[in-house]
Amino acid sequence: MSPRLDASQTQRATSAPPPERPDHHLVDGSTEDALAGLPEIPPYDEVGPVDARALSKTLFERLESLEEGTHEYSYVRNTLVELNLALVKFAASRFRSRSEPIEDIVQVGTIGLIKAIDRFELSRGVEFPTFAMPTIVGEIKRFFRDTSWSVRVPRRLQELRLDLAKAGDELAQQLDRAPTVAELAERLGISNDEVVEGMAASNAYTASSLDAQPEEDDSEGALADRIGYEDHELEGVEYVESLKPLIAELPQRDRKILSLRFVANMTQSEIGDELGISQMHVSRLLSRTLVRLRRGLTVEE
């Protein structure tokens, strides 16, 4: 199932207006206590990276003291999402050249941001952007891996394709040439057959339309015009293979005449001079031989 179809929390984070502080007369005392001391946050698009980082740290400290599922917890968590959406947009910009709309990529990346917020712990001593970016990018890459294949292949082969690409780049730099199947298999600790299978699966990632027009510098037509044509030379190959045993049964002089006429492209007069016989005799011998061969082909059919 596509990630953008199963995360209502993402829709709130990306489409809902920024969370507002609840009116004090609408909440009980515990809510006021939970939200007391939080800094006033300006519009999110006006918060710079440095301020967003400082505000996020304060909000994470407060989030750790709140009970999950409460209104106060949701308020602080949603505020963290809004404050750090710039991380998602930055990560999504790396995939702008893909065919998916940038809005969908941002939405998927927001799921990664939410996961990072839920997993982050201040005690680790790591800045939140450093912790969150791999999760955001990983969520976007997983989305493309699951939805961007032209032909559906097993997840195992999708992951193998990525491993082969990474290993291939590393080995190419070390060896200064393209790695062999055996070298890739040794690097990944798999069999040669698995490497070949992964390479074959890579062909399913993208597909070309048969009606796609060629590039401007391409002298050939559309792909549909270049495949599935009738190869007329195949019929000639069949006849040659059928004639070989028939020609082998001919007398030596008849084989010689055939060779001079159809291989050396000599005229009947030139063949007569070569063999010391008249042109008329050459014509009769050649006609007799061709009739014999034609009859032999008819019988074979």
Nearest to 275 by CA among 263, 257, 288, 261: 257
pLDDT given at position 3: 41
Digit-coded pLDDT (tens) for 207-230? 566 666 655 555 556 666 666 666
CB atoms closer than 10 angstroms to residue 135: 22
| CATH level 3 topology of 3-147 | Four Helix Bundle (Hemerythrin (Met), subunit A) (1.20.120)
Per-residue pLDDT of 48-72, as tens digits, reads: 777 778 888 888 888 888 888 888 8
Give the mean model confidence (pLDDT) for residues 238-259: 86
Determine the CATH number of domain 155-211. Answer: 1.10.10.10
Hey, CA dihedral for 50, 134, 91, 71, is it positive or negative?
A: negative
Q: For the chain, what are the domain ranges?
A: 3-147, 155-211, 233-300
pLDDT at 147: 63
For residue 214, give every residue at least 6 positions away whose Cβ sits within 8 Å of its Cβ, in sequence order, or none: 220, 221, 222
Condensed to tens digits (0 to 9), the pLDDT of residues 1-37 reads: 334 434 344 344 444 444 444 443 333 444 455 555 5
For the entire predicted model, the pTM comes to 0.43
Tell me what pLDDT residue 22 has: 42
Architecture of domain 233-300: Orthogonal Bundle (1.10)
- Tell me, yes or no, if the two domains 155-211 and 233-300 fold the same way: yes
CA gap 57, 221 in Å, rounded? 60
> In the predicted model, what is the mean pLDDT of the chain?
76
